[in-house]
Structures are given as structure tokens and as C-alpha cells.
């Protein structure tokens, strides 16, 4: 397989785009493809201050790298969840993020250490709340959302960017459709606009396949943590990803069509009416962050 641009051996063949590119031309294409997604969905502009939520994985570190290459003002934020999993998951992922920053003088990283700040790691607080049953993912998601918005608001960032890729988005979309989670379907979008103390959220890799992001990280020499969070192993999202991968093998481009078709349906008013209106928000009586019910937000109730 030859590179479409220069005829040298291709490093990646993207059947969904009918495009093969070499090690030199692929990163250029990937960066400009991301830039086109940023513009198409009006995610942000050069005047915005962006906070990138980084986990130490390939998606978030590649996103930060791409935004810096494009010249955006982009700082990073890492949340140390205190997860060990027998191999020091949080310690290792934090090391990867810190090495990324050390190699790029002048970039700023915010580190939130959950145990140091609130007195318990994610598995500890979850075990207390769930009385030792189940995975800590619900508690983890709640804490991450709260802390990302808190840092964004406190430091005046106008945009919060996450590294969700197309494979993540279609797995969530399939799950939401299978269960007809209309509330979640309404909120699944490349951009969630800012409102009432909530910073705008964007997903610049929402049209990029996971293997495209992995190829970018590899070619650019971005060192990331290969292991997944130990609590992600065997979860339903990974099951949906496997199913969608089988469909994609038979029908290249199926994931992209599925996602873009969904976004078009939204634009054309497929999801409309009262349910499309987000519920009113109230400031939490303790931390001040927006919450749908007056009084304490779910985060403050958790630690109480």
C-alpha cells in the first residue's frame, strides 16, 4: 500500500476514508482533520482558553498535542483517582502525563489528587457508599465531572476538552439507543454549550477512529499508558465496541455513518419538544457548582 501523497510505503490505510498515508503525511492529515471537526462543530476559536482533561492514555495526550500544534491556548488537567489495580494504574498514568509535560516546556498542568484533597481514593469512597458492592465507576464519573468543571471555572477556562474518540461515541450511542435513553441521547453531542456555571465541553476527536488516534500517538512518539483502568475491563462499553468493530470490518465506514447520521437527525429535529430543554440549574449551597435540585449537589452529598 502506497501513500496517496508521496507514493512511499503507507503507515496507515483508512478504508473508511479510502485513504492511505505515510509516516510523514499521516500526522499532517490527522491534525488538519481534527481542525476541521473543531470548525465544523464550532467548538472553540483562537480566543478561547482550553483545559484538556488528560488521563495518561493515548486519546487525551494526543488531543493535547494536536491542540498545541494548532497553536491553541491549551492547558492540561489530571485527576489522580488513587486506583491501583495491582499495577499502580494511577501512579503510572500520572507519570506518563508528567513526562509529557516535562517534554514541552511552558505548558501548564493542574493535578487534582482526590485522596489528598478529600481524604479518600475513588475505590475507598465508592466502597463506603456502595457498602463494598459494585464497581466505583458511578462515583468516579461524578467526581471527575465535578472536579473538571471546578478547575475550569476557578481558573477561567472557557472550554473543557476531552479525548473521546469515535469508537467511544458510537459505543455510548448504541447503548443509549438500545435502552432508549432519550435524556442521554439529547446530551450526546460534540459540543455541550456553557450555561449557569457549567463550562462548555467539547470532543474534538469525535469523528476520529481509535486506531487513527493510536497511529498518531505512535508516529509522534507520545508515550502513554497502554493498560486500561482495571475497572474498565469487561464493562458493557467494551462489549459494544467489539460488536461495532465486527460491523465495521464487514462495512468500512459504518461507525462514522452511524455517528454522523445521528448528529444529522438531531439537527433535523428528530429530538425535539419539551424534553430537549435542559432542566433549570441551581447553585449548590456548599460548593456553588450548578445542580438540578436545590440544596447540596451530588458531589457534596457524596462526601457528607
- Judged by the rule CB under 6 A, the positions of this chain that interact with ligand Q46 are 136-137, 140-141, 229, 231-232
Binder of residue 286, out of ligand Q46, Zn ion, none (CB less than 5 to 8 A by kind): Zn ion
Contacts for 49 with CB less than 8 Å, ≥ 6 apart: 73, 75, 156, 157, 158, 159
Copy the grid coordinates of residue 251: 462495512
CA distance 206 to 197: 24
Nearer to Zn ion, 68 or 125 (CB): 125
By the rule CB under 5 A, 300 interacts with Zn ion: yes
Min dist CB 71 to ligand Q46, Å, is 29
Nearer to ligand Q46, 79 or 297 (CB): 79
Query: Would you tell me how many other CB atoms lie within 10 Å of the CB of residue 110?
Result: 19
Beta bridge partners of 161: 52, 202
Binder of residue 287, out of Zn ion, ligand Q46, none (CB less than 5 to 8 A by kind): Zn ion
Contact yes or no for 51/159 (Cβ under 8 A):
yes
Cα-based torsion angle of the residue sequence 33, 35, 37, 40 in order, rounded to the nearest 10 degrees: -130
CA distance 50 to 184: 25
Would you give the binding string for Zn ion spanning residues 270-289, x where CB under 5 A is met?
--------------x-xx--
Copy the grid coordinates of residue 141: 464519573
Nearer to ligand Q46, 10 or 166 (CB): 166
Residue of 54, 83, 170, 297 that binds Zn ion (CB under 5 A): 297
Min dist CB 19 to Zn ion, Å, is 11
Site for Zn ion in 188-227 (CB under 5 A): none
Task: List residues near Zn ion by CB under 5 A.
Answer: 3, 5-6, 22, 25, 284, 286-287, 297, 300
Amino acid at each position: 500500500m502506497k501513500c496517496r501523497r508521496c507514493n512511499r510505503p503507507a503507515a496507515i490505510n483508512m478504508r473508511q476514508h479510502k485513504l492511505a498515508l505515510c509516516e510523514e503525511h499521516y500526522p499532517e492529515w490527522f491534525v488538519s482533520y481534527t481542525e476541521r471537526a473543531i470548525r465544523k462543530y464550532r467548538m472553540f476559536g483562537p480566543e478561547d482558553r482550553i483545559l484538556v482533561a488528560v488521563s495518561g492514555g493515548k486519546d487525551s495526550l494526543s488531543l493535547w498535542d494536536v491542540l498545541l500544534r494548532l497553536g491553541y491556548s491549551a492547558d492540561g488537567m489530571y485527576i489522580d483517582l488513587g486506583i491501583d489495580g495491582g499495577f499502580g494504574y494511577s501512579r503510572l498514568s500520572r507519570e506518563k502525563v508528567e513526562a509529557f509535560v516535562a517534554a514541552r516546556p511552558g505548558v501548564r498542568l493542574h493535578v487534582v489528587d482526590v485522596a489528598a484533597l478529600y481524604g479518600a481514593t475513588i475505590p475507598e469512597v465508592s466502597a463506603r457508599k456502595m457498602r463494598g458492592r459494585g464497581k466505583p465507576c458511578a462515583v468516579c464519573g461524578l467526581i471527575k465531572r465535578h472536579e473538571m468543571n471546578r478547575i475550569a471555572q476557578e481558573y477561567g477556562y472557557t472550554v473543557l476538552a476531552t479525548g473521546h474518540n469515535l469508537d467511544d461515541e458510537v459505543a455510548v450511542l448504541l447503548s443509549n439507543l438500545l435502552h432508549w435513553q432519550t435524556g442521554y441521547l439529547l446530551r450526546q453531542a460534540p459540543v455541550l454549550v456553557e450555561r449557569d456555571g457549567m463550562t462548555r465541553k467539547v470532543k474534538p476527536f469525535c469523528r476520529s477512529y481509535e486506531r487513527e488516534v493510536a497511529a498518531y500517538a505512535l508516529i509522534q512518539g507520545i508515550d502513554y499508558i497502554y493498560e486500561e483502568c482495571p475497572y474498565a475491563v469487561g464493562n458493557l462499553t467494551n462489549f459494544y465496541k467489539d460488536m461495532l468493530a465486527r460491523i465495521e470490518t464487514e462495512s468500512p465506514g459504518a461507525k462514522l455513518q452511524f455517528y454522523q447520521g445521528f448528529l444529522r437527525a438531531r439537527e433535523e429535529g428528530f429530538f425535539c419538544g419539551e424534553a430537549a430543554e435542559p432542566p433549570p440549574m441551581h447553585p449548590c449551597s456548599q460548593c456553588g457548582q450548578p445542580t438540578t435540585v436545590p440544596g447540596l449537589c451530588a458531589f457534596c452529598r457524596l462526601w457528607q
